[in-house]
Structure 1
Amino acid sequence: MPLERSVGAVIFRREGNKIYYLLLHYPSITHRAKRNYWDFPKGHIEGGEKPEAAAKREIEEETGLKDIKFIEGFKETIKYFFRFKDKNILKFATFYLVETKTKDIKISYEHIGFKWLLYEEALEQLNFK
């Protein structure tokens, strides 16, 4: 069975006494899904890259964010299966918790939108939990 590894980030920012989480809007046409969906920034690890460096690169490529701070001690890996071209794919995705002070996002060509949401709103908006 084919195996894929990717890294991503749960990005948050503080505004007053509230914490907002960043979700990106992914179009189905470019990401193997049957419909558009909301998720955290993530992508594949390139050859020879360390996971945290790959996450930093993906964050900058997908959001334009450079002022990021990885929260020490948080790294969560999830495992899931999906079908692509009539094959079952096993995927491991490692997520980091990352803080930024920047509100303005410059999404990449891979996305069709973004939202900063409070925790409960973000949970409700996420398509994959």
Structure 2
Amino acid sequence: MAIPEATMMYRFRLPRVLPTLYQPVHMETSCGFILANHRSILLLQYPQGHWSFPKGHVEGGEDHHSTARRELLEETGIEKIRIIPSWSHRTEYSYSRKGSTNQKQVYWYLATTDEFQVKLSHEHTNFLWLDIENAVNQLTFEQEKNVLSSARKVIESLSAD
């Protein structure tokens, strides 16, 4: 069926503002550990003041465990860990930086260590080893509080051995 010429003369134009309203969302992937030493959990403080677990961005060719191990070593100097394969968790959130919206997913893993000594990287200002309850209270972000709460039973069963 042919479209009448009168109809074809109407063209719809997108407003010039649209390209500035639409910004592609960039997805970042990070990996980190909830690190337990018996019933103590390691938290790191960032210069902005928030408390979190050791974590960082995936670099080319790395799998998630390799990323989490590398970041743990870089941020704390802790190398000797045992990964608990029965537990993992994924969180996702959005944040804005320099006018663009970024989506971030973080893959969390659980590990234990016998090391207590931490060699802080330049990325952090402080660290604490806290029992689970105090660690939940110290964490800044609600999602990370929930992650630790979900790992609690596993951590408690490990320290009972």
Q: TM-score, with normalisation over the residues of structure 1?
A: 0.89
What residue in structure 2 maps to residue 6 of structure 1? 30
The size of the alignment, in residue pairs, is 118
What residue in structure 1 maps to residue 45 of structure 2? 25
- Shift in Å, 1:74: 1.1
Gaps of 5+ in 1: 29-35
Q: Which has the higher helix share?
A: 2
Q: Which has the higher strand share?
A: 1
What residue in structure 2 maps to residue 50 of structure 1? 63
Quick one: distance in 1 between partners of 2:80 and 2:137? 27
Superposition CA RMSD, Å: 0.7
Quick one: distance in 2 between partners of 1:83 and 1:20? 33
What residue in structure 2 maps to residue 108 of structure 1? 121
Q: TM-score, with normalisation over the residues of structure 2?
A: 0.72
| Structure with max Cα Rg | 2
Deviations 1:43-94 (A, max 9, x none): 0000011111111111101010011010012111101111111111110000
More relative contact order in 1 or in 2 (CA 8 Å, sep 6+)? 1
Quick one: distance in 2 between partners of 1:86 and 1:98? 36
Q: Within 5 Å, which residues of 2 pair with 1:46-125? A: 46-125=59-138
Gaps of 5+ in 2: 1-24, 143-161
